[in-house]
């Protein structure tokens, strides 16, 4: 089987409100796939349907070839989950909770190895309620990994982290990919999607509005921009947009050389994922 996850025509309503409005995507084995979108877009609803925690409305979903709604044991043993909100295991230590969760799986990873992977070395004997918010989130990640799953769901894994903890979590997620795991990640942080995801779907109001690799999404969305400082001394930039930067640069630099001026601050750029995201998710 090529794809870890297949979703087609998925819909889900809460009462009268349709939170997911017909989405399709596939996650290939071994890739990190990012569902990126603002709060309320429908990310958690989608992920919880795939995890088997919520019934879908309409459409088809397959997770490792299984229907998650049946919560088959064979699927649960191969999937690791970090929920958006955490924490029932407050009174036990880091090591105890990991040993317990590990014992539920047929082939768990060594607890010490998992503790090292998420950066909780030294906290083994600390009770969960004494951990900081960022450390608790690392424990969540450790819980998702201890069963050595092949597919991992991470719902906003770094929300509330300070920058150092975010970078550490990113390293952990990269190491999951290096271990050959498949990761479905939700985030409302662009840089996180850009850093981690092989492919991204931007979701808004229950619909996927665009899908592709972070670079493709940036580059496919618009022309090159050539910018340089205006020579009137007020610090403003002249910006040209073009699909043929080679020709335009040649023309601009030839003119500048002939007139003995310099194109200060010269740059050639394309729209980034951030430009695309802000444009697509902006409220009308």
Classified as helix, coil or strand, 38 is: coil
What residue 119 binds from ligand ADP, Mg ion, none (CB within 5 to 8 A, per partner kind)? Answer: none
Among 34, 42, 102, 134, binds ligand ADP (CB under 6 A): 42
CA pair distance 249, 251, nearest whole angstrom: 5
Burial of 273 (0-12, 13-18, 19+ CB in 10 A): buried
Q: Is 14 in the site for ligand ADP (CB under 6 A)?
A: yes
Measured CA to CA in angstroms, residue 117 lies from 111, 143, 178, 183, 248 at distances of: 10, 11, 12, 16, 49
Among 41, 81, 136, 185, binds ligand ADP (CB under 6 A): 41
Query: Of 37-45, 158-166, 175-183, 272-280, which segment contacts ligand ADP by CB under 6 A?
Result: 37-45
Among 4, 44, 144, 208, binds ligand ADP (CB under 6 A): 44
Q: Pairing between strand 3-14 and 58-63?
A: antiparallel
Q: Is 40 in the site for ligand ADP (CB under 6 A)?
A: yes
**Min CB(196)–Mg ion separation in Å:** 17
Instruction: Identify which of 9, 17, 32, 20 has the alpha carbon closest to the alpha carbon of residue 180.
Output: 32
**Min CB(284)–ligand ADP separation in Å:** 18
List alpha helices for 118-268, DSSP H: 133-145, 163-178, 190-196, 214-219, 245-259
Q: Which is nearer to ligand ADP, 41 or 176 (CB)?
A: 41
**Min CB(84)–Mg ion separation in Å:** 5
> Which residues are paired to 18 by β-bridges?
13
Query: Of 3-11, 35-43, 71-79, 102-110, which segment contacts ligand ADP by CB under 6 A?
Result: 35-43
Q: Is 37 in the site for ligand ADP (CB under 6 A)?
A: yes
Q: Which is nearer to ligand ADP, 19 or 63 (CB)?
A: 19
CA pair distance 202, 188, nearest whole angstrom: 10
Residue nearest to Mg ion (CB): 44
Residues that bind ligand ADP (CB under 6 A): 14, 19, 37, 39-45
């Amino acid at each position: 089987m090529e794809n870890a996850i297949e979703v087609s025509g998925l819909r889900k309503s809460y009462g009268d409100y349709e939170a997911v409005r017909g989405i399709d995507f596939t996650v290939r084995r071994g890739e990190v796939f990012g569902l990126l979108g603002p709060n309320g877009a429908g990310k958690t609803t989608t992920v919880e349907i795939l995890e088997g925690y919520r019934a879908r409305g309409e459409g088809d979903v397959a997770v490792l070839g299984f229907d998650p709604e049946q919560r088959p044991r064979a699927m649960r043993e191969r999937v690791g989950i970090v929920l958006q909100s955490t924490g029932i295991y407050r009174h036990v230590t880091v090591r105890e909770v990991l040993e317990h969760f590990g014992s539920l799986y047929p082939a768990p990873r060594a607890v010490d190895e998992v503790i090292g992977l998420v950066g909780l070395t030294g906290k083994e004997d600390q009770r969960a309620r004494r951990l900081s918010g960022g450390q608790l989130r690392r424990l969540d990640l450790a819980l998702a990994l201890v069963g050595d799953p092949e597919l991992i769901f991470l719902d906003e894994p770094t929300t509330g982290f300070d920058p150092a903890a975010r970078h550490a979590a990113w390293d952990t997620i990269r190491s999951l990919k290096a271990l050959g795991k498949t990761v479905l990640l939700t985030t409302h942080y662009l840089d996180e999607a850009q850093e981690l995801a092989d492919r991204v779907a931007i979701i808004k109001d229950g619909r996927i509005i665009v899908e592709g690799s972070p670079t493709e999404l940036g580059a496919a969305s618009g022309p090159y921009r050539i910018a340089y400082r205006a020579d009137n001394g007020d610090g403003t930039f002249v910006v040209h947009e073009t699909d043929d930067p080679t020709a335009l640069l040649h023309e601009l630099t030839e003119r500048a050389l002939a007139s003995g001026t310099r194109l200060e601050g010269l740059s050639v750029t394309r729209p980034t994922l951030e430009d695309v995201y802000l444009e697509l998710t902006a409220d009308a």
